[in-house]
Structure 1
Amino acid sequence: MQQNSILPTEGRIRQQHTTRSPAPPFPAVPGDATAELRATLRILVVENDGPAADCLVGGLRRHGFQADSVDTGRRALQAYRQADLVLLDLDLPDLDGLEVCHGIRASCDTPVIAVTARGTELDRVLGLQAGSDDYMVKPYGFPELLARIEAVMRRSRPKRVVRDVIIRGPLRIDARTREVSLHGGRIEVTRKEFDLLHLLASQPEGVVSRKQLMVQVWDDSMSRPGRTIDTHVSSLRGKLGSSSWITTVRGVGFRFGRP
């Protein structure tokens, strides 16, 4: 099925079926007072439609931003740490954009603006609950997008903190040294076990789907989640001394718990 593009016409961003690469549509703004701020911002565009992504990246660059794009949720979860802000389309070929947003929010406070054709009130609520800082529905105006980017960055940039150390009761997970300790005693875990535990502990109130685990821990969006995850969960439960640290949510995935 052909995807909807985001292409500009007379200052608007609209949805349109196309296979042509658009010409650069957005002239730079001379003497822009925010030029210095924009030049320091790295924006990641997550957009499945190639021409739309090229158009949006081109417009951002012409307004002084550093911008690049990826076209899948898997690549977004690999690249977002190098960005200061993410423009996230929710309709992606491998992962739902809400899962990607959850994944980003689980590990850091990088601002996310959902840019999507999903426009119902429920869609907006779900997007904001997933962790997006703002929500824009296609079609939208490019000047409005610029204003929202600057507003989000004014609120978010001073608070951006990567969660290197997670402490959940007696359990301490240090992403800098990749060490896990329980009641002060170090627990030896494998690389995948650490990544799995860190991801679950990063979002203790939410359920992490098996598909999200496969993408973020095993870097695999194609394989069907199977015994690999269960084996690692079982091993972690044994090392932590209780199955309550990781709770199975049948048919969905896993939730971080506490014994």
Structure 2
Amino acid sequence: MRTLIAEDDEPVGRALRDVLSANGYAVTLVHRGADVLLRHAEAQVILLDLGLPDIDGLEVLRKLRRVDDVVVIVLTCRDDERSVVLALRLGADDYLVKPVRLAELLARMEASVRRYRHAELDGTGYSAGGLQIDFGLRQVTVDGSVIHLTPTEFDVLAVLARRAGTAVSREVIQDEIWGDAFLTKSNALDVHLHQLRMKLGKPVITTIRGFGYRLEP
């Protein structure tokens, strides 16, 4: 199981990494919240300390849940009720207070991963209102005519199509395509969306002011 450990205490982080590696886990150890936001796509489960030096762990969790539903287990010294409740409300799958017994940690990780289900629509294609998308062929047609999109334009459309009818944040789109939703300041997404709308010729992409976009089913 690919595991990302975010722990600012280096000896604790190394100890966790070594014991999980010895139990068959593929472990990456990072020390900053920014590293979690950059590398979360590599992991099946994240062990998240709250006392990170650059970004508070709760804020990392808040941002992470806007773009990914990877399993996140908070592993921290904070045992106050407010932190526990807030972390769970923000989307943590579990909350463990240090020090934790190895057997319990492994059991909680395995149980959380079993519960994990990545929600997405049919992976082969999308069809609605004259718009047809073949994800495998990377082909788009509108009312039977093939629309020639750049690779990035197609990727933007695919992100929206897999969540058709729901609002998708800018961060989700940027994270899935460029992998740096929280670091990029580029207007690349705006440019690609403008071109995409022009080529589709249909008002199927709605702007959700202050949040993101929705593909109308």
Which TM-score applies when normalising by structure 1?
0.59
Alpha-carbon distance between aligned partners in 2 of 1:103 and 1:127, rounded to the nearest angstrom: 12
Alpha-carbon distance between aligned partners in 2 of 1:61 and 1:104, rounded to the nearest angstrom: 24
Shift, 1:163, TM fit: 6.0
Indicate the residue corresponding to 1:239 in structure 2: 199
Aligned Cα root-mean-square deviation (Å) = 3.6
- 1:207–1:161 CA distance, 2 compared to 1 (3 A): closer
Indicate the residue corresponding to 1:145 in structure 2: 105
- 1:162–1:149 CA distance, 2 compared to 1 (3 A): farther
Which secondary structure state, in structure 2, belongs to the residue aligned with residue 149 of structure 1?
helix
- Structure 2: stretches of 5+ with no match in the other structure: 77-81
Matching of residue 257 in structure 1 with residue 215 in structure 2:
yes
Alpha-carbon distance between aligned partners in 2 of 1:124 and 1:257, rounded to the nearest angstrom: 30
Identity across aligned pairs (percent)? 29
- 1:234–1:45 CA distance, 2 compared to 1 (3 A): same
Matching of residue 89 in structure 1 with residue 48 in structure 2:
yes
Alpha-carbon distance between aligned partners in 2 of 1:173 and 1:49, rounded to the nearest angstrom: 44
Alpha-carbon distance between aligned partners in 2 of 1:102 and 1:196, rounded to the nearest angstrom: 17
The answer (yes or no) to whether the contact 2:75–2:96 under 8 Å persists in 1 is yes
Output the amino acid matched with 1:76: H
Output the amino acid matched with 1:135: D
> Aligned residues, how many?
198
Matching of residue 135 in structure 1 with residue 94 in structure 2:
yes
Alpha-carbon distance between aligned partners in 2 of 1:249 and 1:90, rounded to the nearest angstrom: 33
Indicate the residue corresponding to 2:79 in structure 1: none
Shift, 1:195, TM fit: 1.9
Residue from 203, 208, 222 that aligns with 2:183: 222
Alpha-carbon distance between aligned partners in 2 of 1:50 and 1:73, rounded to the nearest angstrom: 19
Shift, 1:127, TM fit: 0.5
Write the mapping of 1:1-259 to structure 2, written as runs, cut at 5 A: 42-47=1-6, 49=8, 51=10, 52-69=12-29, 71-77=35-41, 79-80=42-43, 85-87=44-46, 89=48, 96-105=60-69, 112-115=71-74, 119-127=83-91, 134-139=93-98, 141=100, 142-156=102-116, 164-167=123-126, 169-170=128-129, 171-204=131-164, 205-209=166-170, 211-220=171-180, 221-226=182-187, 228-243=188-203, 245-252=204-211, 254-258=212-216
Shift, 1:50, TM fit: 6.8
Shift, 1:186, TM fit: 3.2
Shift, 1:206, TM fit: 3.6
Output the amino acid matched with 1:234: H
Which secondary structure state, in structure 2, belongs to the residue aligned with residue 45 of structure 1?
strand
The answer (yes or no) to whether the contact 1:45–1:53 under 8 Å persists in 2 is no
Shift, 1:249, TM fit: 2.3
The answer (yes or no) to whether the contact 1:57–1:67 under 8 Å persists in 2 is yes
